[in-house]
Every structure is written in C-alpha cells, then in structure tokens.
Amino acid sequence: MLEIKLCVNCKRSLSRDDINSGYAEYQESGILLCRECLALKTRKEKGYEEKDFILESLLNELKGINRTLTYEPASWLNILASVIQCFVFGSLVFAYLNRNGDVHAYLLLALIFQVMALTFFTIKK
C-alpha cells in the first residue's frame, strides 16, 4: 500500500526512497523533515552565520550526491558494444563518401552493427 509522507514545514511529499537515501529525516519527536527544512532548523537553533550555513549546506549536498551515486562495473560486453559503435560511425562515413555507388551495403552494415551494439548493451539488464 502506498503511504504518503509530508515534510512538516514545507509540506513536500517524501517517498520511502527519500527517507532511505537520507534526503528526509525523522526527528526525535516523530516529525518528518526534508533536508532543506532540517538545515534551516539547524541554522536557527545553532545561530550559524550565513557563510557557515552555506558551507554546511554544500557539504550536506555533496554527501547526498555521494550516497546516490551507483557505480556499475564494466563488462566485456559493454566494451565490445562500444567498439562496435565505432564501426557504425565508420560505416556511415563510408556510405556518405560513396553516395554515388552502392550505399545500401554500407547502410545495411551500419544497421547490423547498431543492432549488435544495442544487444550487447542490454544483454545483462
């Protein structure tokens, strides 16, 4: 069942992913705050100067970005698909250079290479 949670201050809807990723936080009193409202509340409580508040906000944003980055390991199929993409470009260049001759063979070759590359890119997913 879908459960909608709202930030107490700004009334933004927050999903379970926001809470799990650290974008939203529960306070000790049971209220839910998004990161911006939490930073504003912290600033008011601790009496930060504007410069310190901005630096802390930047640091929090960088930490959030670092948490959400996912690194996908490269497989040999992705590398092979990237190389085949280069052949597609080469085939299209040859088709353009030989536009008075047999263009269909080069375009068909580029199409076959492109289908192979797309297959290799999506084979693991």
Quick one: pLDDT at residue 33? 73
Residue at token pair 């290799």: 120
- What whole-number distance in Å separates Cα of residue 11 and Cα of residue 109? 55
Q: What is the mean pLDDT of each run of 10 residues along the chain (125 residues)?
A: 66 69 63 72 66 76 71 80 92 89 89 92 78
Quick one: pLDDT at residue 85? 92
Quick one: pLDDT at residue 2? 58
- What whole-number distance in Å separates Cα of residue 22 and Cα of residue 34? 9
Quick one: pLDDT at residue 14? 67
Query: What is the per-residue DSSP string for the chain?
Result: ----EE-TTT--EE-HHHHHHTSEEE-TTS-EEEHHHHHHHHHHHHT--HHHHHHHHHHHHHHHHHHH--PPPP-HHHHHHHHHHHHHHHHHHHHHHTTTS-HHHHHHHHHHHHHHHHHHHHTT-
